[in-house]
């Protein structure tokens, strides 16, 4: 893996070469958030994010070694540093595991949210089904009451017709009786 020269590492983070480690950390956090592939959709975001991580790791190693001598022109490392990159690789692995854990946590949160949305949709569907059942029962009850009222109305109408018919027959019979009585009276008067 190619080594990043100190001046290039400072330049990647947008800092002057005399910046403090606190400034390096602040710049790294700001740029890592800005170019994180989950937050930045530009095609070069991943590459830029990796470059920022590599520059930070290089500067972190530089400040942890406590070296203040000038960097070598060819490799970017200080002349009194050895070229052992185990710490650098450890830092990269720590960053990898940290980002992997963050991704796992993010995925778990998304899965929880999706499960909650599914449960909410199911509850809403069950509530809609219950309300539809209640509505159907209310409609059936209203139709049953309307049918009973129609039956009662027809029964009352039939009863009224029967009573009217009896009343007519009674009037006719009464008229016949009166007529018969008058004939009988007329007959008795002549006799």
pLDDT of 123 reads 93
Compute how many other C-beta atoms are within 10 angstroms of the C-beta atom of residue 139. 10
Q: Is residue 74's pLDDT more than 60?
A: no
Give the pLDDT band (50/70/90) at residue 100.
Answer: confident
Residues 6+ apart with CB under 8 A from 15: 23, 24, 27
Q: What are the pLDDT digits (tens) for 31-46?
A: 999 988 888 888 888 8
Q: What percent of the chain has pLDDT over 70?
A: 84
DSSP class of 21: H
Alpha helices in 69-85 (DSSP H): none
């Amino acid at each position: 893996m190619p080594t990043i020269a100190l001046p290039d590492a400072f330049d990647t983070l947008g800092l002057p070469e005399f910046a403090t480690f606190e400034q390096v950390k602040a710049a790294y956090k700001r740029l890592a958030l800005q170019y994180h592939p989950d937050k930045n959709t530009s095609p070069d975001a991943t590459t830029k994010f990796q470059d920022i991580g590599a520059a930070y790791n290089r500067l972190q190693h530089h400040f942890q070694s406590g070296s203040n001598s000038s960097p070598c022109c060819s490799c970017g490392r200080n002349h009194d540093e050895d070229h052992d990159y185990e710490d650098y690789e450890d830092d990269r692995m720590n960053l990898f595991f940290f980002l992997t854990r963050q991704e796992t946590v993010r995925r778990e949160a998304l899965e929880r949210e999706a499960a909650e949305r599914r449960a909410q949709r199911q509850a809403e569907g069950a509530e809609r089904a219950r309300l539809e059942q209640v509505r159907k029962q209310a409609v059936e009850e209203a139709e049953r009451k309307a049918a009973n009222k129609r039956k009662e109305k027809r029964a009352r109408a039939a009863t009224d017709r029967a009573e009217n018919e009896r009343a007519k027959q009674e009037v006719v019979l009464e008229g016949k009786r009166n007529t018969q009585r008058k004939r009988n009276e007329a007959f008795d008067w002549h006799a």
